[in-house]
Amino acid sequence: MLKELLLRLGLASLARPIVGGAGTIFVFHRIRAGNPELAFSPNDRNSVAPENFERLLDALAEDGTEVVGLEEAMLRLQAPGARRFACLTFDDGYRDNHDTLLPIIAARVAPITVYISPGLIDGSAPLWWYALEQVIAEKKVLRLPMPEEGELAIADVPGKQRAFDTIGSFMLTARPEASARMVRTLADRYGVDFGALAVRHMMDWDMVRRLAACPLVEIGAHALSHPALATLDDAAASHEMAASRERLESETGRPVRHFAYP
């Protein structure tokens, strides 16, 4: 309540030494501009336009907040009174992390951490959220197993958004067999080409290696196939975490010290 009051009074900077914390970890996915011509593009909420990302870097610099990697952030957390920091992290391994983000951070000399799910890179793990966007955009009625077969009317944009939110919520908590059944239905009944989605949206391994070769980039693990880990048993969850690290180290030749859950 105190923090909210100070913000409203414009006095937050005075209280920051007390309530502002040591630093901030920003969680991003994509650096790309949205398409204003698309009435339905729910996954754009995971995107930040390049110019807005650069505005953030400008604001941090003006504020005297230093952008650091996770290793440095951990050291500063152990040193009371250390200079405030910000960490920039990116999940999944999208193509624009290579094409758009890499040139920006190279020019700004800003370190980042990119958490990569190997299955999303090689297409063995389904980009179901982009599959849903594609199918919902094209259809007016959907019949999907959630987990029982159910029909959703999606004739207008608000209906499409509700359907996306409903199915997405189901997928985030579904057991592996239920989410696999949904993916099969999207592919078999609605013709989704998951391999093509991976090529369109994700980096390939050559891009990952170029990213990893940049001294400003830390590669972290993000599970092997991007599941909701809480839906797995302990052995399966452990395998997802360990195998993602092993695959990334094998592909990049660099140690992988950090993990972010999908």
Question: What average pLDDT does the chain have?
Answer: 94
Beta bridge partners of 25: 87
Inform me whether the pLDDT recorded for 16 exceeds 80: no
For residue 86, the one-letter residue type is A
Report the relative pairing of strands 47-48 and 30-31 from DSSP bridges. Answer: parallel
In tens, the pLDDT along 116-164 reads: 999 999 999 999 999 999 999 999 999 999 988 888 889 899 999 999 9
Domain 19-123+203-252 grouped into CATH 3.20.20.370: yes
pLDDT given for residue 10 in this prediction: 78
What's the mean pLDDT in 237-249? Answer: 98
Task: Tell me what the mean pLDDT of segment 98-124 comes to.
Answer: 97
Query: Which residues of the chain are in CATH 3.20.20.370 domains?
Result: 19-123+203-252
Residues 61 and 43: beta-carbon distance below 8 Å: no
Kindly report the CA angle at 137 between 133 and 139, in degrees rounded to 5?
A: 120
Tens-digit pLDDT profile for residues 44-83: 999 999 999 999 999 999 989 999 999 999 999 998 888 8
pLDDT confidence band for 21 (50 / 70 / 90)? confident
Q: Integer distance in angstroms from the first to the last C-alpha of the chain?
A: 31
Provide the pLDDT for residue 132.
97
At 192-203, the pLDDT tens digits run: 999 999 999 999
The pTM score is 0.91
